[in-house]
Amino acid sequence: MAGMKYALIIPDGAADEPQDVLSGRTPLQAASIPNMDRVARTGVVGRADHVPRSMPPGSDVGTMSLFGYDPLRYHTGRAPLEAAAQGIPLGPADWAIRCNLVTIEQGVMRSFTAEQIPTEVGRELMAALGREFAQEECWEFHAGVSYRNLVIYRSRDGEAPFDSTTVTVPPHDITDQPIAEHLPHGPGADLLRMIMDRSRQVFPEVAANRARSQQGLLPATQVWLWGLGRRPNMEPFKNRFGVSGAVITAVDLLRGIGRLLGWEVIDVPGATGYLDTDYEAKGRAAVEALNRVDMIVVHVEATDEASHEGDAHAKVEALERIDQAIVGPVHQALTQHGNYRMLVCPDHPTFLRTRTHSHGFVPFALCGSDVSPDGFDRYDEASAEQSPLAFQPGCGLMPYFLT
């Protein structure tokens, strides 16, 4: 439709189970979300399964599907997407590896973020690790934001020690669990474990890290390596769907996918990728972006982080902030542009019970031009379960949204 504007709002990991502390309701059911409910009431509600059972449930897989790209075909690993976000080029035989700064105590994953370690401390730790491996030219260490960093393996002879059978485990999947059974294994895993082991020797020598212990904060005790992969080959979104786009997110892997798809990546001051993110700033940036692109994507990590911390009330609050500061203003702006479509959909469930990502359907609500209401008036898991509209695989939702 000529002049159509689109908006996709992603409350990461919002789908969940009924909670005793929420009187038997899910966070979506417990939250006051009149704007999301309006999308449901004036449009359609359904469900989508974005993560194939053969793949690990995470935003790298889930958002790729949500954007209309079958992860079974296009996904090569999480870290290459984050490398793209940082503008780190990868050769055909190079591998990117996600590098978390973590706290492990007595063999147990105490914190997969080293208690949200500040970026400046993380940079010092990654620099120290880089110096430790300065004589080994195949390794590069790239600091990111907070605990999220990257290691790059540069192949010197067109070959690499890793392949698709190398197994690594996301550290957020083993919070408060012993790590021994979750260490990397398979081809090249000995190299990953070697870096992890040597980081335990390096990190206690970094003054800023020692100072955290003295302040009663958790230090980073080592790195945890996971999510490795090679450079993906993804067709630009506009070539595929005829729609220009922009993405607002504080998470590198979403930035990376956006760059690979040819989208504008919008940096919003105050967007933290955590519960304290500036929701209002994200909403304002999205409204402004609609003046120059066909589709704006707004990703909010806060709901996912609340589940990782097992905090149901924080998850409800994050949903309410997304509704008020992002969904409402963006929906209003869309109506002023004329023809429009709006979609609200998480990438995967993140259960408060398990504090980690999960496979399964997530609810979506879609409204706008030429979308006839289907009779549902609430945006939540129960409404989606009752709807006959379902996408499995979930990558079929984006073509449905755009046509």
CB 245 within 8 A of CB 297: yes
Query: Given this model, what pLDDT does residue 2 score?
Result: 59
- Residues ≥6 apart with Cβ < 8 Å to 14: 27, 28, 303, 304, 315, 319, 346, 350, 362
For 5-75+235-402, the fitting CATH number among 3.40.30.10, 2.60.40.1180, 3.40.720.10, 3.40.1260.10 is 3.40.720.10
Query: Given this model, what pLDDT does residue 181 score?
Result: 96
Which whole-number Å values give the CA distances from 15 to 45, 104, 277, 380, in the listed order? 14, 29, 20, 8
CB 3 within 8 A of CB 369: no
- Intervals of CATH 3.40.720.10 along the chain: 5-75+235-402
Q: Which residues of 35-65 are buried (b: 16+ CB within 10 A; e: fewer)?
A: bbbbbbbbbbbbbbbbbbeebbbbbbbbbbb
pTM here is 0.85
DSSP code per residue over 238-266: HHHHS--EEEE-S-HHHHHHHHHTT-EEE
User: CB-hemisphere CA count at 13 Å for 140?
Assistant: 15
**Residue ranges of the chain with per-residue pLDDT less than 50:** none
Query: Given this model, what pLDDT does residue 1 score?
Result: 55
Residues 82-120 have pLDDT tens digits of 999 899 999 999 999 999 999 999 999 999 999 999 999
How crowded is residue 375: how many other Cβ atoms within 10 Å of its Cβ?
12
Which whole-number Å values give the CA distances from 120 to 127, 270, 281, in the listed order? 11, 16, 24
